[in-house]
Amino acid sequence: MTQSRLKPEEVKWIKEHPNEFVDELKRTTELVNNFSHLLEPYRINKNKEGYQKLFKELLKEEEEKEWKKE
């Protein structure tokens, strides 16, 4: 069994708020689908650092777009 990367307080929050967690997971998944084609070269080349850096930047941009819509 692998150890969770989540902190105990994060696991506790997820257990206490499953609906909010699922909603956030769905929202993030939709955002990632908007830019997954940009991440594909990093995934294929197994460039983990580049993938994670670009992922964080793109997710931040998409979240800012979402905030501006609301």
Mean pLDDT calculated for residue range 53-69: 82
Nearest Cα residue to 62 out of 42, 40, 39, 34: 34
pLDDT for 28 equals 82
Give the contacts of 45 (CB within 8 A, at least 6 positions apart).
none
Phi/psi for 17 (5° steps) reads -130, 60
Residue 3 above 70 pLDDT?
no
Sketch the domain layout of the chain as residue ranges: 12-69
The fraction of the chain above a pLDDT of 70, given in percent, is 91
pTM, 2 dp? 0.60
Residue 66 above 80 pLDDT?
no
pLDDT for 19 equals 95
Nearest Cα residue to 39 out of 52, 26, 25: 52
In the structure encoding, which two tokens stand for residue 70, read together? 């609301």
Mean pLDDT calculated for residue range 41-56: 89
In the structure encoding, which two tokens stand for residue 29, read together? 């998944």
